[in-house]
């Protein structure tokens, strides 16, 4: 090779090396520009049609639309797999209907069903979904109705499309916001101790007896909590959670997101750049009954109190860099109730002979749960771990004591708890409530005594990081 050829060869190698280095630097810069965490938000109207059952047939069907119902949700990207957090303005989603929602939304988000943390806000002038229970009613020619199967499937698919479309434009997340504030004069426990020293559990969402409203609030969680997601100084999503039944007046066929929906709408208007979700905490035994006699004018009053709590929690919010997006889930086995009236034989008889349509619906709901529970079904208790904050989802109408227990398990962290995940078990009471013969457990509780031990064990397993 000539000297000139050697020089040209050396130059070529140097140029190639320089080009390779430049290309490598370009790739590195591009990799550095890709955000560690992203978020996509979606919102879809899910208002039922006129004539659709409300609260599983327990109250008047839809006669008018007071205000629309929505699914609001987030897809969090940047962890091991995408995570979905969503809430729906329906009363409950149970059994195979809950499976259907999680499966379809997981497919849309390209993740797995256990990573879809889907919960109901639990307004009563709204649908309950349980596909197997509805099929049982239809099979036996019952007069009761729980849900419209065709409407349900179309709704699931519309929400999935909305989720899928949102993934085309995710937003960067750099910071996590944490804030909380006390809500005044909304929540009160159903339980109160009467003048005879005995415990009673009769304080409903609308409590018309002024004497019952005079008793103390009882055991509640007074804190409204906010988790917010930020791109530097821009808030892009907010999760708000508070533990109370979300009803002011209800049962006359006027579909509504009620006072929590009004508060959410007002807070959303204050923050149009951010997606706002509201989640009901564990409130199987918590209502607004001490402060609400069921008068329609109380709805905006209660809404204002929730809104003020959200605003105060927002003002108290402190941001920090988001450095972690982890997921854990524990399994929970709740044994089915099997006392008189709740055996398979008793439920089957009630389905076919109860003269009241709602009695037939209750039997069908019980049989739907028994089918799964008797096959060894276990519920998921999932947690999204943000490091300094934990988002925990518990099943059904868990009593508020479970939410308080979750905070005791992780006193080092900000624990936000939502209830009304898989709603098939109905009320999940404490052992004290069972021993006191809580009057609310007569017909909306499908779990056997002993649930408290299992619930607390699952909460502890889910919240405690691996190795701790």
pLDDT 10s digits, 150-195: 999 999 999 999 999 999 999 999 999 999 999 999 999 999 999 9
Rg (CA), the chain: 25
What is the model's pLDDT at position 13?
41
Pairing of strands 414-418, 389-393: parallel
- CA nearest neighbour of 126 among 164, 162, 159, 87: 87
d(CA 67, CA 247): 14
The kind and range of the H/E element at 417 are strand 414-418
What is the model's pLDDT at position 98?
98
Question: Is the Cβ–Cβ distance between 283 and 419 less than 8 Å?
Answer: yes
What is the model's pLDDT at position 302?
98
What is the model's pLDDT at position 35?
74
What is the model's pLDDT at position 166?
98
d(CA 250, CA 292): 12
Task: Please identify every stretch of the chain with a pLDDT value under 70, giving residue numbers as ranges.
Answer: 1-34, 466-468
- CA nearest neighbour of 114 among 330, 397, 279: 330
Question: Is the Cβ–Cβ distance between 179 and 228 less than 8 Å?
Answer: yes
- CA nearest neighbour of 357 among 10, 109, 7, 57: 57
What is the model's pLDDT at position 373?
97
d(CA 172, CA 169): 10
What is the model's pLDDT at position 465?
77
d(CA 233, CA 137): 53
């Amino acid at each position: 090779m000539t000297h000139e050829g050697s020089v040209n060869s050396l130059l070529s190698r140097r140029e190639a090396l320089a080009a390779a280095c430049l290309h490598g630097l370009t790739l590195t810069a591009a990799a550095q520009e890709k955000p560690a965490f992203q978020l996509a938000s979606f919102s879809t109207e899910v208002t039922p049609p006129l004539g659709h059952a409300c609260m599983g047939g327990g109250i008047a069907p839809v006669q008018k639309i007071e205000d629309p119902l929505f699914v609001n949700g987030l897809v969090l990207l940047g962890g091991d797999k995408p995570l979905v957090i969503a809430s729906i303005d329906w009363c409950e989603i149970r059994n195979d209907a809950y499976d259907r929602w999680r499966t379809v939304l997981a497919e849309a988000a390209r993740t797995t069903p256990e990573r879809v943390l889907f919960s109901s806000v639990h307004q009563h002038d709204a649908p309950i979904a349980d596909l197997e229970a509805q099929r049982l009613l239809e099979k036996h020619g019952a007069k009761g109705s729980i849900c419209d199967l065709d409407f349900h499937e179309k709704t699931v698919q519309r929400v999935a499309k909305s989720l899928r479309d949102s993934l085309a434009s995710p937003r960067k997340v750099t910071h996590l916001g944490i804030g909380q504030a006390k809500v005044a004069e909304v929540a009160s426990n159903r339980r109160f101790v009467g003048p005879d020293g005995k415990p009673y559990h009769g304080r409903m969402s609308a409590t018309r007896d002024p004497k019952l409203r005079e008793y103390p609030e009882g055991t509640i969680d007074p804190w409204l909590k906010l988790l917010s997601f930020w791109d530097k100084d821009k808030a892009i999503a907010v999760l708000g959670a508070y533990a109370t039944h979300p009803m002011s007046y209800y049962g006359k066929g006027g579909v509504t997101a009620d006072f929590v929906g009004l508060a959410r709408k007002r807070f959303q208007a204050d923050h149009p750049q951010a997606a706002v979700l509201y989640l009901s905490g564990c409130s199987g035994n918590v209502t607004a009954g001490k402060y609400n006699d069921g008068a329609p004018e109380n709805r905006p009053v209660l809404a204002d109190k929730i809104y003020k709590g959200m605003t105060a929690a927002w003002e108290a919010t402190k941001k920090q860099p988001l450095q972690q997006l982890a997921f854990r889930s524990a399994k929970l086995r709740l044994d089915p109730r099997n006392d008189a009236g709740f055996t398979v034989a008793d439920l089957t008889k009630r389905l076919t002979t109860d003269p009241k349509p709602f009695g037939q619906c209750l039997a069908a709901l019980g049989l739907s749960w028994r089918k799964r529970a008797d096959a060894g079904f276990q519920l998921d208790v999932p947690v999204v771990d943000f490091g300094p904050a934990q988002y925990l989802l518990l099943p059904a109408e868990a009593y508020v004591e479970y939410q308080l227990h979750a905070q005791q398990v992780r006193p080092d962290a900000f624990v936000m708890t939502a209830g009304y995940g898989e709603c098939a078990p109905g009320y999940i009471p404490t052992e004290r409530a069972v021993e006191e013969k809580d009057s609310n457990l007569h017909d909306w509780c499908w779990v056997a005594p002993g649930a408290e031990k299992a619930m607390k064990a699952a909460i502890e397993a889910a919240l405690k990081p691996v190795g701790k």
